[in-house]
Amino acid sequence: MIAEVIINRGAKKLNRTFDYNIPEHLEDLIIVGSKVLVPFGKGGNPEEAFVVGLKEKSNYEVKDIIRLEENLSDKQIELAKWMSKRYFCNVSDCIRLMQAPGTKNKDKSKRIQDKTINAVYLKKDIEEIEFDIETKKIKSEKHIKILRFVKDNEGATIPEIELFTDCSRAIVNTLIKNGYLEVVEKKVDRDPLANKKIPKSSRLKLTDEQENAYSKIKESIDNNRYEQFLLFGVTGSGKTEIYLQLIEDVLTKNKKAIMLVPEISLTPQMIERFISRFGKETIAVLHSKLSIGERYDEWNKIKENKANIIIGARSAIFAPVSNLGIIIIDEEHDSSYKSESTPKYDSKEIAKKIAKEVNIPLVLGSATPDLKTYYKAINNEITLLELTKRANNSNLPKVEIIDMKMELINGNRSMLSMELYNSIEENLKNKYQTILFLNRRGFSTFIMCRDCGYIVKCKNCNISMTYHSYENKLKCHYCGNEQNVVTTCPNCGSKKIRYFGTGTQKLEQEILKQFPNAKTIRMDVDTVTKKNSHEEILNKFKNEGIDILIGTQMVVKGHHFPKVTLVGVVAADSSLNIDDYRANERTFQILTQVAGRAGRENLPGKVVVQTYNPDNFIIQTAQKQNYKMFYDTEITLRKQLKYPPFCDIIVIGVSGKDLNEINSSSQFMYQELVNKLKQNEEIKIFKPMPCPIDKIQNRIRWRIIIKAKMTDELNEILNLVLKDMYEKEYKNTKFSIDINPNNMT
């Protein structure tokens, strides 16, 4: 392989690429973006350079690259190699996660001064883009580089892309024209903490429960010993206070801390708590809302040992931190810790690997632990630490269950039960706030003919089109395809077309009809866009005297609203019926979390749960906020049906545009798997089948599912089979393997 490099010097005449040979031992390690040392000029002096492109051949006689000046350590390379096997991806995919965002290291990007910027986003699904790269529909290295850069830095501006990828604006524009990228005008959130005086806080005296948990973890810090803990504590039980004190202990030993939180709970309030304890200087925050320049600065702050506490979302586990003393993962059950695009890694696994290697504690915190985590805790693989009481003595909210079947019998056909209606009325009178929650994922405002059952679907994706009332259009959320609203059924000609929605719009209309003076705000897929963030809506709700927040699952997490005293769960059941083995677990988590939004401080909270299945054990245990009762029933079910934690669900994706090839390749792969793996009680291989969504953006999707524990041996065999498949010249087909994917569609 030949590397095209740019010499790292300011001279104008050096502003071009030079070819170098990549010696064999570096072949797997050098990627676009590596910092390398090359012999340069007459004397062949070693010179620093950046790799900007890779190609097969050069027209010149070329010298060897001397070495990789990786900004990465051997440990990181090791980790990248391990990840590549474990998650079935390229080493370079993993290295990219560990490098500073962008590759420029001289001129810093300009700070954004404008109030609005033109932010660049991927217009296509990343899987679709990776597919086009693999099938050579996208060939240019520069195109690939920009697309991958935008994947990692969504919302970067065109000048930032130019600066950090060394590609010209013209290339970005080509990608926009070809439908791969889109430009969205966006308001710049100024750093809400920039000029804010944050009062200092200090250690609180811990409660007995807190003290017990704290001292167990502290022991592991003091003895430089790896140990994994589950800090299982109800909402408000003082988990964060424990994190703060542990981190303080780690800092006094001149060590550092990584704290992962779900992106959505990485709010100014949360960061404020850390700043108030430790000061701003020592903290680095990594999340996707930062501009690429800011992220670059944070990354370097860590690298140069100026930050001791790293707070960030999933990928912050790869921050270049030395001398780590603790890793904390808050809300450990959150599905965002598992990446759904290549590399499809699980940051909890990565954290465990790192913690083991450097002999430090790994703390997982949650009020509703991942069933797998709790199972391990029960079986002594993880040390269980419990907090059963709220730290500030506020009470858990009272949860009332309303049987909607009875409401119907009593002649109430509205979306609100009498109980919820009365509670809202009272809350409005008292000037407290209300959250109304529809337990839906959002993508489901679909259109159906009531006579023949015909559903309007996207012709590219075979998934139902979503109705957008604002534009009065039907849109596909997978490919962006748009069409006009239908009023007669294309199948049978009937005019009885009905809209089935997430119901947030309908609910808002109904609320405004019944409570004309209420001020409402809505949060769902229609209102949360690239332009208008989830954060902005929540801030409005908090600060602009809005009475009622109406939303889908997005409202559940993170925020702390002191004036919210009522939470209404309008449709508790809908997530019970999704086609996923985690439906029960997710419903329980959602209901418990949403109930935790009510009555956080001195005002008492009330939760009204409307359901058609009042006897269902999920609804029952969520009402009692009794995780253990939920766990006992659910784990029995999982055991009977052989689902995780009793095995892993391994999904082998086979996709492409050529149905014949998909058919033959997936049959071939299935046979290979059957030949190489002994099927028995422990390993089950299912025949190739179309995925539930069997077409996205005209790409046909099939899969083979394996139910088995992912052992090293199985991992090896799968890697071999995958390699074979790629050598078999199925040119138009892409294969991928995902372990326990979040989404089974």
Selection from 369, 368, 510, 497 nearest residue 438 by Cα: 510
Nearer to ligand ADP, 120 or 270 (CB): 270
Distance CA 723, CA 85 (A): 11
Minimum CB–partner distance for residue 240 and ligand ADP (Å): 3
Nearer to ligand ADP, 313 or 438 (CB): 313
Residue 667 interacts with which of Zn ion, ligand ADP, none, CB < 5 to 8 Å by class: none
Nearer to ligand ADP, 38 or 234 (CB): 234
Contact mark string toward ligand ADP, 265..304, x via CB under 6 A:
----------------------------------------
Minimum CB–partner distance for residue 233 and ligand ADP (Å): 5
Nearer to ligand ADP, 300 or 394 (CB): 394
Contacts of 364 (CB under 8 A, 6+ apart): 228, 229, 230, 231, 329, 332, 348, 373, 382
Residue 240 is a binding residue for ligand ADP (CB under 6 A): yes
458: Cα separation from own chain's centroid = 26
Residue 575 is a binding residue for ligand ADP (CB under 6 A): no
Q: Which amino acid is at 250?
A: V
Residue 533 interacts with which of ligand ADP, Zn ion, none, CB < 5 to 8 Å by class: none
Minimum CB–partner distance for residue 255 and ligand ADP (Å): 22
Minimum CB–partner distance for residue 184 and Zn ion (Å): 20
Distances (CA, A) of 553 to 266, 435, 644: 17, 12, 24
Which region, left, alpha or beta, applies to residue 301 given φ > 0 means left and ψ of -120 to 50 means alpha? alpha
Residue 332 is a binding residue for ligand ADP (CB under 6 A): no
Residue 706 is a binding residue for ligand ADP (CB under 6 A): no
Residue 207 is a binding residue for ligand ADP (CB under 6 A): yes
Stretch that binds ligand ADP, among 231-239, 317-325, 408-416, 531-539 (CB under 6 A): 231-239
Residue 210 is a binding residue for ligand ADP (CB under 6 A): yes
Nearer to Zn ion, 459 or 624 (CB): 459
Residue 494 interacts with which of ligand ADP, Zn ion, none, CB < 5 to 8 Å by class: Zn ion
CA angle 441, 630, 743 (to 5 degrees): 30
Nearer to ligand ADP, 233 or 320 (CB): 233
Nearer to ligand ADP, 241 or 334 (CB): 241
Nearer to Zn ion, 369 or 442 (CB): 442
Residue 503 is a binding residue for ligand ADP (CB under 6 A): no
SS3 state at 652: strand
Nearer to ligand ADP, 276 or 514 (CB): 276
Place of tokens 């010249």: 729
- Residues 344-373 binding ligand ADP (CB under 6 A) are none
SS3 state at 194: coil
192: Cα separation from own chain's centroid = 23
Residue 392 is a binding residue for ligand ADP (CB under 6 A): yes
SS3 state at 132: helix
Minimum CB–partner distance for residue 540 and ligand ADP (Å): 24
Treating both helix axes as pointing N-terminal to C-terminal, what angle do 126-134 and 141-152 enclose, rounded to 10 degrees?
Answer: 160
CA angle 623, 627, 632 (to 5 degrees): 115
Residue 603 is a binding residue for ligand ADP (CB under 6 A): no
Instruction: Give the burial string for 223-255 (b: 16+ CB within 10 Å, else e).
Output: eeeebbbbbbbbbbbbbbbbbbbbbebbbeeeb
Residue 239 interacts with which of ligand ADP, Zn ion, none, CB < 5 to 8 Å by class: ligand ADP
Binding site for Zn ion (CB under 5 A): 449, 451-452, 454, 458, 460-461, 476, 478-479, 481, 489, 491-492, 494
Minimum CB–partner distance for residue 135 and Zn ion (Å): 19
447: Cα separation from own chain's centroid = 29
Distance CA 286, CA 302 (A): 10
Residue 245 is a binding residue for ligand ADP (CB under 6 A): no
Residue 210 interacts with which of Zn ion, ligand ADP, none, CB < 5 to 8 Å by class: ligand ADP
Distance CA 631, CA 244 (A): 29
Minimum CB–partner distance for residue 271 and ligand ADP (Å): 13
Stretch that binds ligand ADP, among 238-246, 283-291, 544-552, 662-670 (CB under 6 A): 238-246
Interface pick for ligand ADP out of 33, 233, 605, 688 (rule CB under 6 A): 233
Nearer to ligand ADP, 266 or 700 (CB): 266
Residue 235 is a binding residue for ligand ADP (CB under 6 A): yes
Largest CA distance in the chain: 93
Interface pick for ligand ADP out of 238, 293, 503, 551 (rule CB under 6 A): 238
Selection from 511, 452, 502, 456 nearest residue 481 by Cα: 456
Nearer to ligand ADP, 242 or 652 (CB): 242
Residue 157 is a binding residue for ligand ADP (CB under 6 A): no
Residue 71 interacts with which of Zn ion, ligand ADP, none, CB < 5 to 8 Å by class: none
Residue 265 interacts with which of ligand ADP, Zn ion, none, CB < 5 to 8 Å by class: none
Minimum CB–partner distance for residue 431 and ligand ADP (Å): 23
Minimum CB–partner distance for residue 734 and Zn ion (Å): 18
Residue 674 is a binding residue for ligand ADP (CB under 6 A): no
Distance CA 216, CA 137 (A): 55
Residue 391 is a binding residue for ligand ADP (CB under 6 A): yes
Minimum CB–partner distance for residue 235 and ligand ADP (Å): 5
CB atoms near residue 85 (< 10 Å): 14
Contacts of 79 (CB under 8 A, 6+ apart): 94, 98, 350, 353, 354
Written as six digits, the tokens of 236 are 């408000």
The sign of the dihedral angle between the CA atoms of 258, 260, 264, 270 is: negative
Written as six digits, the tokens of 334 are 């959150």
CA angle 163, 169, 170 (to 5 degrees): 150
Contacts of 427 (CB under 8 A, 6+ apart): 433, 434, 547, 565, 566
Q: How many residues bind ligand ADP (CB under 6 A)?
A: 15
- Residues 137-156 binding ligand ADP (CB under 6 A) are none
Is residue 620 a contact partner of residue 411, using CB atoms and an 8 Å limit? no
Stretch that binds ligand ADP, among 203-211, 498-506, 537-545, 637-645 (CB under 6 A): 203-211
Distances (CA, A) of 364 to 218, 233, 333, 507: 14, 11, 9, 37
In the complex, which residues of this chain contact ligand ADP (CB under 6 A)? 204-207, 210, 233, 235-241, 391-392
